[in-house]
């Protein structure tokens, strides 16, 4: 069966190569570019991940490019991915992690050395080079602290079971494995003939996570420039406390004394600790509200030299800070969300009032960044182009890498339009409209309303490798993607309005967007579809009962359908409590379980529905998709259930992702392109 599937994919790829628009197969052929590090000499280390469809897996190789000259070199292409690259030895070598080992190479790729090889392997590595040539290496390890089933009943080695006495027994897509994420460090002599094998787990024996699972990594901790202390973000709560609260804290660990001190912060998530080059100031992001995972994420500074000092909020940085890096003792570069874009700015903290200098502009999303000498280098994407690296200067942005240029040169790309559409309550909503390649305004096209997940997640200039607007438009659809109520970047009130109002104003915003575009003469108002995942999937289910005949096809991926059963099976309950307004047994009962519960509107369903769900999705468990599909079937609604037993909230396997794309478009084409 697998060979037959791959043969079909190869044939489809051969056909796609002759086409002049983006296809799912070409999308998976693209290299995925990620910035790792930059050196004062101008060299930049980056990785390119490529996927092998036949092997059904990806591999990341390391490259170097010089920011001033554009010279490009292949650095490391070993079997298995190379990650966490950083320049060492005065920029003459690059250290990186490969299969859990810390290695390094000369800039020409020669002279491979292994420096750290610890039990269980190391991930998310950061290091500091000391004056004596020694390295202090901080990394993430995992410690088992809870009893496994085999340890509980060793007399039944073939039994398959689990026993739980508290919550958080599963998270996102993984059942508990009785281990905890811990930050550790090792002292490494890089010129030693053998790698270091010993390390110190700075949270040994602590039932808490640092970094926070499942998404936390190297951004969650930092080493001081002299290697004398580590600051890390941790959530030490377990069980129900973990499920009900977001109050992660920052901690300082002093290497010489092995002592840990909790640093002052806010009540929600504290994270992204960054120690200044002089070691005197800690910059970090913090959310003020416990239990609100999508709260404003603001920049704070803490004086590390003054006992009892409290964090100072830097309002000039804005309310949605994604990433930060010191570029001097008092200067930082920040990645911030502004309207529908992720932009970079520089902030000078010295003086009574911090000053801000924008570093980027335009309809782009900027990602990871660093200085290569005096040149700022950053990832950049938009709806028509995947990440590449750019240098940023007074004359604007200049492409530094060209990983996917040859593939893009073979296809026509559609126009992307930014509209401000009036909402039902008299406001303006930024809405993206993507047109098919070779668009002809004299023709009529079907249109898709894209419903964003989150719900507090901006529809920015992102380039997704599944919910890809370029691919949708290339199949002949006009794509309508509104920044409806509940997304950050448009002010706190716009972002927070959606909490406890999932089925209210956001639905009116969706309908305002699709109605405005459907009124255009080149849109066939009788061929409209709505698609989305997670909260976007909830939106599709909710719209299915209130759209009044607008839509002729619907696709919901991992959507929430029955809010009562969802509350009883999801894991991070702080999210449910904040956004739904509490539990379904609360009195008065929140509207989330009544008017805003999609299952209560099934009697009004009319549009054909494709339901997609992963078996390992514990954020929106499988029963949500099963309930929706069964309701559609019993009501006689044309419907289909696409089930991926081994996928979670996302579809990660390359071949599964291609099946997803083909089933997605097959369904839409069946009902919108008769």
**Cβ partners under 8 Å of residue 425, min gap 6:** 505, 508
**β-strands 609-614, 553-557: how paired?**
parallel
Helical H segments across 112-191, by residue range: 149-152
**Residue 325, class by beta-carbon neighbours within 10 Å (0-12 exposed, 13-18 middle, 19+ buried)?**
middle
* Residue 566 main-chain phi, psi, to 5 deg: -65, -45
Show the tokens assigned to 580.
């739904």
User: How many other CB atoms are found less than 10 A from the CB of residue 52?
Assistant: 11
Catalytic residue among 331, 382, 617, 639: 617
CA 480 to chain centre: 22
| 613-639 burial code (b ≥16 CB/10 A, e <16) | bbebbbbbbbbbbebbbebbeeeebeb
Catalytic residue among 98, 547, 613, 649: 649
Catalytic residue among 220, 248, 534, 639: 534
Cα–Cα dist 479/411, whole Å: 18
Cα–Cα dist 626/638, whole Å: 15
**Cβ partners under 8 Å of residue 409, min gap 6:** none
**β-strands 445-451, 523-533: how paired?**
parallel
Show the tokens assigned to 631.
């309701």
Partners of residue 358 on adjacent β-strands: 345
Active-site residue, 649 included: yes
Instruction: Check: CB of residue 293 under 8 Å from CB of residue 243.
Output: no
Cα–Cα dist 179/161, whole Å: 17
Partners of residue 45 on adjacent β-strands: 37, 64
Helix (H) or strand (E) run with residue 481 in it: strand 478-482
Residue with structure tokens 């239990």?
291
Active-site residue, 617 included: yes
Active site residues: 534, 617, 649
């Amino acid at each position: 069966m697998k060979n037959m599937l791959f043969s079909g994919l190869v044939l489809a790829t051969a056909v796609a190569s002759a086409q002049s628009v983006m296809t799912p197969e070409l999308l998976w052929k693209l290299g995925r570019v990620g910035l790792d590090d930059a050196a004062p000499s101008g060299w930049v280390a980056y990785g390119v991940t490529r996927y092998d469809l036949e092997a059904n897996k990806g591999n990341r190789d390391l490259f170097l490019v010089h920011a001033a000259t554009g010279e490009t070199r292949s650095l490391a292409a070993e079997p298995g991915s190379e990650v966490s690259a950083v320049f060492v030895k005065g920029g003459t070598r690059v250290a990186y992690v490969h299969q859990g080992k810390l290695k390094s190479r000369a800039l020409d790729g020669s002279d491979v050395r292994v420096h750290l090889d610890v039990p269980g392997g190391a991930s998310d590595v950061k290091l500091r080079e000391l004056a004596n040539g020694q390295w202090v290496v901080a990394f993430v390890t995992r410690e088992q602290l809870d009893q496994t089933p085999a340890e509980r009943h060793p007399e039944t080695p073939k039994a398959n079971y689990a026993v739980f006495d508290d919550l958080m027994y599963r998270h996102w897509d993984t059942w508990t494995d009785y281990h905890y994420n811990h930050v550790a460090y090792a002292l490494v002599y890089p010129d030693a003939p053998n790698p270091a094998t010993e390390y110190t787990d700075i949270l040994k024996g602590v039932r808490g996570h640092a970094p926070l699972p499942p998404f936390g990594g190297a951004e969650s901790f930092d080493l001081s420039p002299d290697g004398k202390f580590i600051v890390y973000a941790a959530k030490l709560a377990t069980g129900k406390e973990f499920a009900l609260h977001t109050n992660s804290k920052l901690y300082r660990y002093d290497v010489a004394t092995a002592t840990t001190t909790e640093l002052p912060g806010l009540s929600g998530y504290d994270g992204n600790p960054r120690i200044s080059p002089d070691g005197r100031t800690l910059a970090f992001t913090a959310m003020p509200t416990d239990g609100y995972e999508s709260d404003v994420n603001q920049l704070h500074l803490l004086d590390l030299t003054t006992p009892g000092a409290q964090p100072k909020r830097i309002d000039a940085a804005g309310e949605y800070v994604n990433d930060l890096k010191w570029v001097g003792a008092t200067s930082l570069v920040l990645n911030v969300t502004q309207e529908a874009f992720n932009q970079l700015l520089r902030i000078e903290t010295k003086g009574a009032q911090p000053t801000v200098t924008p570093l980027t502009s335009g309809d782009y999303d900027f990602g990871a960044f660093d200085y290569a000498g005096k040149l700022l280098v950053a990832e950049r994407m938009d709806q028509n182009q995947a990440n590449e690296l750019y240098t940023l200067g007074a004359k604007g942005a200049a492409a530094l890498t060209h990983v996917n240029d040859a593939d893009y040169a073979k296809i026509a790309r559609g126009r992307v339009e930014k509209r401000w559409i009036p909402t039902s309550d008299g406001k303006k909503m930024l809405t993206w409209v993507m047109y098919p390649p070779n668009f002809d305004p004299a023709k009529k096209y079907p249109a898709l309303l894209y419903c964003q997940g989150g719900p507090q997640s901006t529809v920015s200039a992102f380039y997704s490798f599944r919910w890809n607007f370029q691919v949708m438009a290339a199949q002949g659809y006009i794509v309508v993607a509104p920044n409806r109520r509940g997304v950050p970047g448009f002010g706190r009130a716009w972002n927070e309005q959606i909490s406890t109002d999932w089925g209210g104003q956001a639905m009116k915003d969706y309908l305002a967007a699709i109605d405005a575009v459907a009124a255009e003469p080149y849109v066939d108002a009788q061929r409209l579809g709505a698609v989305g995942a997670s909260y976007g999937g909830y939106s599709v289910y909710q719209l299915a009962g209130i759209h009044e005949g607008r839509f002729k096809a619907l696709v919901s991926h991992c959507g929430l359908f029955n809010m009562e059963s969802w509350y009883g099976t999801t894991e991070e309950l702080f999210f449910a409590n904040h956004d739904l307004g509490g539990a379904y047994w609360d009195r008065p009962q929140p509207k989330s379980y009544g008017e805003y519960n999609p299952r209560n509107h099934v009697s009004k369903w009319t549009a054909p529905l494709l339901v997609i769900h992963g078996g390992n999705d514990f954020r929106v468990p499988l029963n949500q998709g099963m309930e929706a599909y069964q309701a559609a079937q019993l009501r006689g609604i044309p419907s289909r259930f696409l089930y991926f037993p081994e996928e979670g909230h996302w579809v990660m396997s390359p071949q599964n992702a291609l099946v997803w794309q083909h089933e997605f478009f097959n369904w839409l084409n069946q009902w919108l392109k008769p």
